[in-house]
Structure 1
């Protein structure tokens, strides 16, 4: 009986360790994939690479514009619709990763500086900004379940 408990304990520990992801590595992958979606030559494929990192019911806030980060069954689809609307709006884009913080195996904070120029797709007005952002990502089963974006 003792051997059986030991075997199951080792099996559980091995399975749990295999399910854990390297959050620092994931943060860098997320950042690189996310900024690719903002490039002037970004494609729908770049968006799909980004969406592959998210749960289907991802919650998203981007204060002060989007304040509700509720997880809904169509969360990823709603983000896809919004990001497709803005796809290719930038004529210039750059980003620099400043900091990565990880918390347990469940959260990441990414702080970065980005600059962009372009034309707003709805009102056709020129846009230009430089800002420092922080994204807090809640991780679930190796994917981003909630995104909270903050401006410095």
Structure 2
């Protein structure tokens, strides 16, 4: 009897584990956008940056056309993003963003198109900056994490 009960519990646990909710890519895309925008806010700090980086694979690839043409994924990709984003963290005195479109590509990726406006002081040149742009980010997903980011300007 114990054996039958144990076997029954194992089967229930197995089927319960397989019945997990599928990865909701549309909800993840919205979460990604909100988390990314939070890193651009004037009061953004390490907390916002780390929340964003938690969405990425360790070997994240990042390409920002036309500024960054290399789309290589390297073992230290997340650390390189941390270093690069930390340099600009808190540089904005104003940041506004509006999500215009979200496109879902089966379970392998999504694209977000958004308009942003920013003002601030460039951390290196100490010169005032201001820009408005429409961006498209094409995101590739692996194991529920962002594995590749490709940014394009309209």
Q: Is TM > 0.5 for Structure 1 vs Structure 2?
A: yes
For each residue in 1:43-95, what CA deviation from the matched residue of structure 2 results, as whole angstroms up to 9, or x when unmatched?
10100000000000000011111111111000000000000000010000000
Aligned residues: 142
- Pairing 1:95–2:97 present: yes
In the alignment, the residues of structure 1 paired with residue 20 and residue 57 of structure 2 have an alpha-carbon distance, to the nearest angstrom, of 19
Q: 1:106 aligned to 102, 105, 108, which one?
A: 108
The structural deviation recorded for 1:16 is 6.8
Question: What TM-score do the two structures reach when normalised by structure 1?
Answer: 0.88
In the alignment, the residues of structure 2 paired with residue 74 and residue 20 of structure 1 have an alpha-carbon distance, to the nearest angstrom, of 29
Give unpaired runs (5+ residues) of structure 2.
1-12
Q: 2:70 aligned to 64, 68, 93, which one?
A: 68
The structure-2 alpha-carbon separation of the partners of 1:17 and 1:139, relative to structure 1 and needing over 3 Å to count, comes to farther
The structure-2 alpha-carbon separation of the partners of 1:146 and 1:19, relative to structure 1 and needing over 3 Å to count, comes to farther
The structure-2 alpha-carbon separation of the partners of 1:107 and 1:15, relative to structure 1 and needing over 3 Å to count, comes to farther
Question: What TM-score do the two structures reach when normalised by structure 2?
Answer: 0.87
In the alignment, the residues of structure 2 paired with residue 72 and residue 109 of structure 1 have an alpha-carbon distance, to the nearest angstrom, of 22
Runs (4+) off by over 4 Å: 11-17
Classify the secondary structure of the residue corresponding to 1:18. Answer: coil
